[in-house]
Amino acid sequence: MTQQKSPLAWLGGKSRLADQIIERMPAHQTYCEVFAGAAWVLFKKPESKVEIINDINRELTNLYRCVKHHLGELVAQFRWMLVSRDEFDTFLSLPPDALTDIQRAARFFYLAKTSFGAKIHKPTFGIAATAPPRLNLLRIEEELSDAHVRLSRVFIENKPYDQVIQRFDKPGTLFYVDPPYWGNEKDYGEGVFSREDFARLAGILDGLKGKFILSLNDTPGVRETFAGFRMEAVKTRYSISAKANQAVGEVLIFNFKGR
């Protein structure tokens, strides 16, 4: 299967680390992304028999459902749009709950693609004199059509991380776990994930029937919290960062031996 790209730019997305994660995956029947975000690993990996992506962000999971079930209607929302600060501010001022699901999906996609640094919490309009906008209005149908096909057999959940792990934990399940980075817990909004959640997550993963791969930034706190599992240091580059060309250290954490 040809590798695909995620249709989204995403703070903390794994576009550059996905290949290293995929090559370390063990055999499995069910694949579950607990903190999906832009779901780069899902879009780049071969299909598993059963696949689930989950995220606590309701606007994100609504976008994925609309891409999966209402592609034509979603694409039509962009017919007369422009990439501009005024359009960005208009979308930002609209309360999502006052919109239809398809309108909400278009709003979220527009803001995610045009915000500075792909920020979803308190986003600001992104513009540069050296690069075109990430949102190409002439290629939206092509871009989202690829995602529509890839999501056709994927289950989409909008649950807290502990609930989705408990729901799908089986001996044949592989979880990919990509929580907020240590030290950046509030980047996705207040009350979404806290420093205390790392220890709670470690406790949940310690009792798994299935297998998991966890990716995080390489910090002393991460190494101490997940010390009971196998760790492997890796290098990557952040695709949305002032230091995008500098290699940074991350750790992949596992509850199984290497392939």
Which residue ranges are tagged as binding site for S-adenosyl-L-methionine? 10, 14, 55, 178
The binding site comprises 10, 14, 55, 178
The span from the CA of 161 to the CA of 8, in Å, is 21
10 Å CB burial of residue 186 (0-12, 13-18, 19+) is middle
The span from the CA of 38 to the CA of 30, in Å, is 19
Contact by Cβ (8 Å): 125, 135:
no
- Asked whether the CA dihedral 74, 76, 82, 88 is positive or negative, the reply is negative
